[in-house]
Amino acid sequence: MVLERFGESLRETLKKITRFGSIDKEAVESIIREIQRSLLQADADVALVFELSKSIRKKVLSEKPPAGMTLKEYFIKTIYDELVKFLGEEKGELELKPQKILIIGLFGSGKTTTSGKLAKWFKIRGLTPALVACDTHRPAAKEQLKQIGKALEVKVYDKGKTPEEIAKHALKEAKEDVLIFDSSGRDALDEALAKELKNLANIIKPDEILLIIPADIGQAARKQAEEFNRLVGITGIVVTKLDGTAKGGGALSATAVSGAKVKFITTGEKPEDIEAYDPRRFVGRLLGYGDIQGLLEKAKEAGISPDAKTAERILSGRFTMKDFYEQISSMQKMGSISKIMEMVPGFSGLKIPKHMLEVQEEKMKRWKYAIDSMTEEERENPDIIKASRITRIAKGSGMSEEDVRELLKYFKQVRKMMKVAKGGKAFKRGPFAKLAKQFGFGL
Ligand code: GDP
Ligand code: MG
């Protein structure tokens, strides 16, 4: 899960606010201390954390909440707003037009995989991308990109001996809309790398130079962003590996003050594990408000829904076994279930261990066979499925009766959870409901 512990501790802190009898100076200080602890554990810069604390303190203790908002609500909203500012504020994305993109960064930062992810991102959005393999430094680098290109059905240009030759050749030959140039890294930004990147930038004249930074370097991201920016003038940053580190908060806040904008984040190794970075949505997800917008986008990318309706069905359908079947299929198309759960309001706050979700994912594949073996009536009204029907369905689908029982149990659980997610307690009562609306999560 993205920044699991970070989000969890922040959510706990927000919950405490709702439990206070009244918000006095002491309450504010204790909450600020907890937020500081969460941020520092995520390797955020001390001075930045101090600034954020000052800002929250000043707003909550010396400003009046806007009309119609209680002090508690204002406190939560302030924390939300300040975190958004802290983590970048501005939304990042790339224009959907023909362009040349140079991907740069140190060894192992995720350049090559991100190049592939971006190719897919453009392809889904109707442009024709191609990849250019300018990493001649690492053996097998070309091969890695070629494999990625093959899997995505995206052309890869790799003719030539030096990065410069390869780039020139691609520029001459390529007819595709979007050219993504993967380059080689080094352990540090040394002279050789500096020279190579400058040469490449001169030859390619890219519209975008994206620096790839892995989230696990935490606050060191700032220095790296500044160094590369000075050298070649980056137009944006992609923060990778946010799924596998506790330091993501530090990395994102560090890049926010580097003067360069985070345009994308990546959260896994699969080609679809990339998203345009939107701090408001990101913080919403961290704090457990869910991310409807992100979910709709994933659904769209998977070709499930040209509009919001289908995705909404995934969230809250009237829920028969048929819907469940469709839901399983849709989820499988959208990517891993754990990632989707994270975006669903109400689910994101639930702690479901990752391995459990993975086991579920495996099982769901087989459950489709069982649902196939049900009668129309059973699919419409699964509550009628009792002992003898279970035996029949198990036989028909080649599963054990236990498996079928588990499917039914799970179906009922999901049905129940869907109701929670749709109009859950956290959103119906308390300050969260109003706030979620104000933040644009429209629940
Ligand atoms: P490069 O040396 O900069 O080209 O880095 P690569 O693209 O080859 O990536 C290095 C390793 O990081 C590979 O094993 C990738 O699969 C992995 N990786 C890249 N991005 C992510 C991510 O967002 N999450 C995870 N978990 N792994 C990633
Ligand atoms: Mg590479």
**Protein residue closest via CA to atom 9 of ligand 1:** 110
CATH of residue 412:
1.10.260.30
Q: Is the CB of 216 under 6 A from ligand 1?
A: no
In a domain, 73, yes or no: yes
| 102-111 average pLDDT score | 97
**Protein residue closest via CA to atom 12 of ligand 1:** 110
Say how many C-beta atoms besides its own lie within 10 A of residue 171's C-beta: 16
Q: Is the CB of 271 under 6 A from ligand 1?
A: no
Please choose from 269, 273, 274 the residue to mutate so as to test ligand 1's pocket, defined by most ligand atoms within 8 A of CB. 269
In a domain, 212, yes or no: yes
Give yes or no: residues 313 and 421 share one domain: yes
Say how many C-beta atoms besides its own lie within 10 A of residue 42's C-beta: 26
In a domain, 298, yes or no: no
Whether residue 90 is predicted with pLDDT greater than 70 in this model: the reply is: yes
Q: Is the CB of 336 under 6 A from ligand 1?
A: no
Mean per-residue pLDDT over the chain, rounded? 84
| Strand-by-strand arrangement of the 178-183 sheet | 155-157, 129-134, 178-183, 99-104, 208-214, 236-240, 262-266, 274-276
pLDDT digits (tens, 9 = 90+) for 231-260: 999 999 999 999 888 899 999 999 988 888
CATH of residue 185:
3.40.50.300
Give yes or no: residues 150 and 283 share one domain: yes
**Protein residue closest via CA to atom 19 of ligand 1:** 110
In a domain, 356, yes or no: yes
pTM: 0.74
Q: Please, what is the Cα angle at 10 between 287 and 37, to 5 degrees?
A: 155
In a domain, 165, yes or no: yes
Spell out which residues have Cβ within 5 A of ligand 2, the ion: 111-112
pLDDT confidence bin for 282, thresholds 50/70/90: confident
| 158-171 average pLDDT score | 97
Whether residue 423 is predicted with pLDDT greater than 70 in this model: the reply is: no
> Which residue range is the domain that position 328 belongs to?
303-438
pLDDT confidence bin for 441, thresholds 50/70/90: very low
Whether residue 317 is predicted with pLDDT greater than 70 in this model: the reply is: no
Q: Is the CB of 105 under 6 A from ligand 1?
A: yes
Q: Which ligand places an atom closest to the C-alpha of 238?
A: 1
Domain count, the chain: 3
Residue 185, pLDDT score: 93
By DSSP bridging, strand 262-266 and strand 178-183 are: unpaired
By DSSP bridging, strand 262-266 and strand 274-276 are: antiparallel
| 220-224 average pLDDT score | 95
Give yes or no: residues 74 and 156 share one domain: no
Residue 346, pLDDT score: 57
Give yes or no: residues 47 and 159 share one domain: no
Which pairs from 137-145 meet CB under 8 Å and 24+ separation?
Answer: 137/184, 137/185, 137/186, 138/107, 138/184, 138/185, 141/112, 141/182, 141/184, 144/112, 145/112, 145/115, 145/116, 145/182
Determine the Cα–Cα distance for residues 292 and 298; give it in Å rounded to an integer. Answer: 10
Residue 97, pLDDT score: 95
**Protein residue closest via CA to atom 26 of ligand 1:** 268
Q: Is the CB of 280 under 6 A from ligand 1?
A: no
Residue 307, pLDDT score: 41
What is the Å distance from ligand 2's center to 196 Cα? 15
DSSP labels, 57-76 = HHHHHHSPPPTT--HHHHHH
- Residue among 378, 267, 222 at smallest CA distance from 2: 267
Reduced to 3 states (helix: H, G, I; strand: E, B; else coil), residue 323 is helix
